[in-house]
Structure 1
């Protein structure tokens, strides 16, 4: 089982290169970073985590700039988005960004994706919240075409382009894994159709996790990798996830200055 962290890298916390080095030095296997391009001042969408939206949500660095900095400062650390809001991203640009990250990192990129919760943020990107799941599906499928075909094309309801050349191609064969976030009633449908793994949040719709993983893998007819966000740093929680055949766990790393972050990582590393 791989141990990693998920965090918001901002302009007032530890820098991505220093964070990447600190994780690799302590034996962590992965770094996943969150994405929000902005947060509208007037917001009606409730934050799933509680009443007051934390400051770091509207101060995040671009995830691919962040992950590139972390990748170039490390040799083994897997670098991923947790999650990329691809309903707010152009799929052709996204395919190029992730393939470039995979090339620069030597095949260590992971694309965690989701549709997001902030409807006002989506609308500012021209995305209609009611159709965001259909949009998510098409953008993932289009990105995979761009990664794997010399002359890629896609014709859908939302994404439509004639044959194009799109390079670089990813280092990983056939492409970086696409992990599907969420734990709703239709999440498994998405994982099975166009995902390469499932990445839910610990404690949000995961109360029967072992049974859920078994159901997902039976429906898929394959061993779908599962990575969990926000795992409590407790041995009993880790042991339970290991028994459920989880492949990777991500401890939540608060956004703090470098010294505070390093001390926290020292404590987390004791659990590895």
Structure 2
């Protein structure tokens, strides 16, 4: 099993470059970071974790900028969005950002995607929450055209453009792996677009039957990466009994010294299960 890190990079915690170096130095294999463009002051959408929305959601750095900084100081670790909110993103610009980051990182980018939960946030981007699933699927199809065709063209319900040139193309072919986040409602999206399922850490016992159902829907052996796993060895042990490719340890957003100490602990737990 592989072990990486999932976290929120903000203006109040460790900077991207030292974080990336520290993860690589400790033998962990990946860094996936969250995205929120903004948080509306007035919000109807309940926080999925319950209670008040944590401050880190208000302060995230742009993931492509942050991961570019990490790419510049690392050589091995995979760099990913966990997740990019495609419902809020122009597909032509996002395709360019994905391809550019894959290029500058030497083919180490993972495009983690999802539809999001904060309806007011997506409405501020002009997206209708009731059609966000169809919108995300269409934007992903359009981006695949931009990544793989010399003259890309797309005509759909939400995305429409005549033939265009778009470079650079991604280093990874046909494009960087797409990790689809979400619950069972995302299984059809995983089947259509996913190189892996990015599953929330709801416990190994709950996850096992979902993996079986996902693979039934997809008709293939979809790899699974579990997001935001606690560092407790007994929890990791449970996941090792499942057919899971990677666990992403949840890293709290903290200043540099505290983060480095916490990463030492994560690396120690990972080493026990290698």
TM-score (norm 1): 0.96
Name which of structure 1's ranges 242-251 and 25-34 shifts more when overlaid on structure 2: 242-251
Q: Which runs of 5+ in 2 are unaligned?
A: none
For 1:2 and 1:164, how far apart are their aligned partners in 2?
Answer: 39
SS of 2:264 mapped into structure 1: helix
SS of 1:161 mapped into structure 2: strand
- The question of whether the paired residues in 2 share the 8 Å contact of 1:213 and 1:244 is answered with no
Match of 2:236 in 1: 238
For 1:155 and 1:242, how far apart are their aligned partners in 2?
Answer: 44
For 2:47 and 2:214, how far apart are their aligned partners in 1?
Answer: 27
For 2:41 and 2:211, how far apart are their aligned partners in 1?
Answer: 38
For 1:43 and 1:215, how far apart are their aligned partners in 2?
Answer: 34
Q: Which runs of 5+ in 1 are unaligned?
A: none
Q: Structure 2 residue aligned with 1:271, among 248, 269, 272?
A: 269
Where has structure 1 moved over 4 Å in runs of 4 or more?
Answer: none
5 Å-filtered alignment, 1:211-250, equals: 211-250=209-248
What are the Cα deviations for residues 108-136 of structure 1, in whole angstroms up to 9, with x where unaligned?
00011111111111111001100000001
For 2:58 and 2:218, how far apart are their aligned partners in 1?
Answer: 37
5 Å-filtered alignment, 1:134-173, equals: 134-173=134-173
What are the Cα deviations for residues 133-152 of structure 1, in whole angstroms up to 9, with x where unaligned?
00010011111111111111
What are the Cα deviations for residues 144-197 of structure 1, in whole angstroms up to 9, with x where unaligned?
11111111111111011111111100101211011111113x311110012211
For 2:12 and 2:138, how far apart are their aligned partners in 1?
Answer: 35
5 Å-filtered alignment, 1:41-190, equals: 41-184=41-184, 186-190=185-189
Aligned residues: 270
TM-score (norm 2): 0.95
Match of 1:29 in 2: 29
